[in-house]
Amino acid sequence: MSYIAEYLWIDGTKPSAKIRSKAKVISDSEKPGIWGFDGSSTNQAAGESSDVVLSPVMVTPDPIRGGDNKLVLCETLLTDMETPHPTNTRAKCAVVAEKYSSFETWFGLEQEYTFFEGTQPLGWPDIGFPAPQGGYYCGVGADEIFGREVVNKHLQACIDAGLSIAGINAEVMAGQWEFQIGPVEAPKVGDEIWLARWLLQRIGEDIKGPKGMPISVSFDAKPIKGDWNGAGCHTNFSTKQMRSSFEACENAAKSLGEPGKPELHIANYGVGVEDRLTGAHETAKYSEFSYGISNRGASIRIPWQVAKDGKGYIEDRRPNANCDPYLVTQMIIDTVCTSASK
């Protein structure tokens, strides 16, 4: 007998990479091995040769096909089989995480996203707007909740795939939701975020909205302009030291505000971050760094429970929904651990 391995990889699309996949039939006596694809069709052709190597980094049960079938998340390499492809940000993240492995860093990412049916957010009227924000966050009822079937199927699929999914909730804008992955170390948390993003989009293909069209997923940071919340990817972070000391948590927050760091982080937190971090809608303005206990209007929030317990983690509220989780986690490790090593 054979099984189907769905190979997944991150492409080179700019300004925000996409996840791609294709399937391979493998004899059940074999493990998923190295494979390849045509990089000229994914914005990944480097120079003369368009062949890109797929090197598996994570294999999970396939909750969509079931049975013995697998999902195979890969990193991309050049044909020398060892040099990371220029679009492979995972490799760099792994190097930085390894350099600071003694810090035992953990990440919990809150991935927000917006469902669409055709050109409108799911549940929105064709013309005009739904009722203003206020009742949608963690709401219930067909007048306020759109897409729960996809959300629940996705949650179960993530569990079945063995991902560290921590929860889900409906968000502030109608049709917007969130799932959380973690706490997990980097780069694994990035692997899991990408797999969970793919599962969400894949499940939406098979479920129709009220207008009869299948449900698509947008990771756009500000899908609807105006008085509607954007979509972020709050990044919760701790080191071993922070998990036992409040001072270490506060120092981590301060280090993210050291000269040059706010600009550097913002520039790598996803396209359109300036449109989302306006200072309104539970955000701090992108150009003004701040941190505070329990403050959802700060760049960095120290949860009240952390202040109460005197230990824990901090939340970087700045990354966009469309961020590269390998890049975001790499930058936080680099900034916080370099500062703590001084």
Residues binding Mn ion (CB under 5 A): 110, 178, 234
CA distances from 196 to 8, 58, 60, 156, 222 (A): 12, 13, 12, 11, 21
Bond before 259 cis per omega within 30 degrees: no
Nearer to ligand ADP, 49 or 156 (CB): 156
- 298 within 8 A of 290, measured Cβ to Cβ: yes
DSSP secondary structure, 38-90, as one string: EGGGTT--BTTB-EEEEEEEEEEE-TTT-TT-EEEEEEEE-TTSSSBPTT-HH
The nearer residue to ligand ADP, 5 or 165, going by C-beta atoms, is: 165
Residue from 39, 56, 108, 272 in contact with ligand ADP (CB under 6 A) = 108
- Choose the contact partner of 236 out of Mn ion, ligand ADP, none; CB within 5 to 8 A by kind: ligand ADP
Site string for ligand ADP, 296-335 (x = CB under 6 A): ----------------xx-x--------------------
> What is the sign of the dihedral through the CA atoms of 273, 277, 281 and 284?
positive
Instruction: Please state the separation of Cα 81 from the chain's center in Å.
Output: 27
Residue 187 interacts with which of ligand ADP, Mn ion, none, CB < 5 to 8 Å by class? none
The DSSP line for 222-234 is: SSS-SSS---BEE
Q: Which is nearer to ligand ADP, 187 or 312 (CB)?
A: 312
Q: Is 187 in the site for ligand ADP (CB under 6 A)?
A: no
Amino acid letter, 51:
D
Instruction: Return the residue of 75, 110, 220, 324 that touches ligand ADP, per CB under 6 A.
Output: 110
CA distance 96 to 135: 42
Could you say which of 166, 168, 293, 340 contacts ligand ADP (CB under 6 A)? 166
**Among residues 270 and 312, whose Cβ is nearest to ligand ADP?**
312
How many residues bind ligand ADP (CB under 6 A)? The answer is 16
* Nearest distance in Å: CB 315, Mn ion: 5
Give dist(CA 332, CA 323) in Å, integer: 13
Minimal distance, residue 332 CB to ligand ADP, in Å: 11
**What residue ranges bind ligand ADP (CB under 6 A)?**
106-108, 110, 166, 180, 182-183, 234, 236-238, 243, 312-313, 315
